[in-house]
Structure 1
Amino acid sequence: MVTGGGRGIGQSISVELARNGANVVVADLDPDEMAETRRRVEELGGEALCVEMDLTRPESIERAVDYAVEEFGTVEILVNNAGIAGPTATCDEVTVEQWDQTMAVNLRGAFLMTRSVLPVMKREGYGRIVNIASVTGKRPVPHRTPYATSKMGLIGFTRSLAAEVGRYDINANVVCPGSVEGPRIERVFRRHAEANGHTAEEVKEMEMEKSARKELVSPENVARTVTLLCSSMTDQMTGQDLNVSAGKVMY
């Protein structure tokens, strides 16, 4: 199961998992975007199910997991990828509603998804959980306190989860991308530009300069890292946070 699998990183993860033999349940809110992910999976000869799901509603998550188990018999892999950027504002300008919404999707949603699949994984005695955080959860970024807090929380959640479920042959790891190419980061650049008196292109250039490779990260590179963590090559890797940041963050 891949949350937010209809576009961006989530779509790339869904396709890469299918390329490596997985059946994929694409969980998202947008049916058209999910249909495109399914098309790409089926082009590879894989099978994909699309399920509309709202991460802020526990009953919606439970229905999605039940559907996945009904169709495929189990859930062996969960990728908690769905997330929102949250507001770009100083801490004193962030509203309670903005804060709560960011936490509800980015952190509470991952908890609710994980809670729903764990009984299935424990029953089978196997599972691989990969949470998608961000390097923003590991370094200070002005005007992004809700987002940074949610992503750091996701790292802590992953480590505690790994310690709890390892005895069931369930691994939990977290991937921390840097600035990933695509429409979402372009929107973030525009918001940062408005907040700091720069152009969006200037913000983009400054972000690339922060990385050792002087480039943005491709969704495909994030997807390949996720797939590695779901493979037998990393059976004894759990509780780890891996950066895919082109060298922007090295800790």
Structure 2
Amino acid sequence: MDLQETRAVVTGGSRGIGEAICLELAGRGAEVAIADIDEDGMADTVDRIESETDSTAEWYYLDLTDPALVDERTDQILDDLGGVEILVNNSGIMGPTAPLEDVTVDEWEETMDVNVRGQFLMCRALLPTMKEAGFGRIVNIASITGKNPLYNRAPYAVSKMGVIGLTRTLADEVGEHDVNVNAICPGSVAGPRIERVFEGQAEARDVPYEQVVEEAEAGSPRGELVQPEDVAQLAGFLCSPDADRITGQDINVSAGRVMF
């Protein structure tokens, strides 16, 4: 229980990777605040935390495209928890699957607003309390698509590359305050979200869905997809005392699909 007496905020904690991260941090002893737009999903995650761990959790409705609401909710979380040492920026959207010339401005801006600006807003809101305390851990969920092309997914790729840039620059900016900032770059993570991505890829390429899945698995030396728990375990490690000297890194969890 290496995160005892710490308080963590996890965005997008209602399902998938976010839910797994919430459970991992709570299992390590952290008190968890979940911020998301999926109220039913957050309630389910809270129930799992309180039944499967010794920690407690609360959920907060938060739309990351609303800067005023981000400030309001983070102030509320700080009041309720009395401080925050850990921030995991997990919320993100897939964005459109289409050739660049068919992407609308609204689709482009929505992808950037959630995937990049949302992380900026959360960091901006919670960094002052971390700097004042002289301790903090920020984990931004990026993607191997921020390093490697993904067919017809330019908005998503650009947004995740932006997350890596934010991570590296912020780590340099706040390191003197004992605030570490790292990014995790998952590969294809098993679950409903990647199934929707594969469906979009299959349609865009006019190939069978099964072919897209087989190609994704074959692209890994292990011949398999990543599990949400794989990402969650790394997030827990990066927030722990064992990762005190690790900052400014973008670490792949891709079953070897990307190696840089």
Amino acid at match of 2:131: K
Q: Say which SS state the counterpart of residue 87 (structure 2) adopts.
A: strand
Q: 2:30 aligns with which of 3, 22, 42?
A: 22
**Shift of the alpha carbon at 1:65?**
1.1
**Shift of the alpha carbon at 1:209?**
0.5
**Structure 1 residue ranges, 4+ long, deviating more than 3 angstroms after superposition:** none
Q: Does 1:214 align with 2:223?
A: yes
> 1:107 maps to what in 2?
116
Q: Does 1:142 align with 2:154?
A: no
Q: Structure 2 CA distance, aligned partners of 1:199 and 1:75?
A: 46
> 1:12 maps to what in 2?
20
> 1:40 maps to what in 2?
48
Aligned pairs, number: 251
Post-superposition CA distance 1:39-76 (Å, at most 9, x none)? 11101121101000010111111122112111111110
Q: Say which SS state the counterpart of residue 128 (structure 1) adopts.
A: strand
Q: 1:51 aligns with which of 60, 64, 79?
A: 60
Q: 1:204 aligns with which of 202, 209, 213?
A: 213
Q: Which runs of 5 or more residues in structure 1 are unaligned?
A: none
Decide which moves more: 128-137 or 54-63.
54-63
Task: Give runs of aligned pairs for residues 152-167 of structure 1, distance below 5 A.
Answer: 152-167=161-176
- Percent identity, please: 55
CA contact under 8 A between 2:29 and 2:54: conserved in structure 1?
no
Q: Does 1:121 align with 2:130?
A: yes
Q: Does 1:64 align with 2:73?
A: yes
Amino acid at match of 2:243: T
TM-score for both structures, normalised by structure 1: 0.99
> 1:176 maps to what in 2?
185
Post-superposition CA distance 1:105-153 (Å, at most 9, x none)? 0000000000000111111111000000000110112200000000001
> 1:192 maps to what in 2?
201
Q: Does 1:91 align with 2:100?
A: yes
Amino acid at match of 2:184: V
Q: Structure 2 CA distance, aligned partners of 1:30 and 1:180?
A: 20
Q: Structure 1 CA distance, aligned partners of 2:62 and 2:88?
A: 14
**Shift of the alpha carbon at 1:21?**
0.3
TM-score for both structures, normalised by structure 2: 0.96
Amino acid at match of 2:251: L
Q: Say which SS state the counterpart of residue 172 (structure 1) adopts.
A: strand
Q: Structure 2 CA distance, aligned partners of 1:199 and 1:14?
A: 35
C-alpha RMSD of matched pairs (Å): 0.6
Q: Say which SS state the counterpart of residue 190 (structure 1) adopts.
A: helix
**Shift of the alpha carbon at 1:92?**
0.6
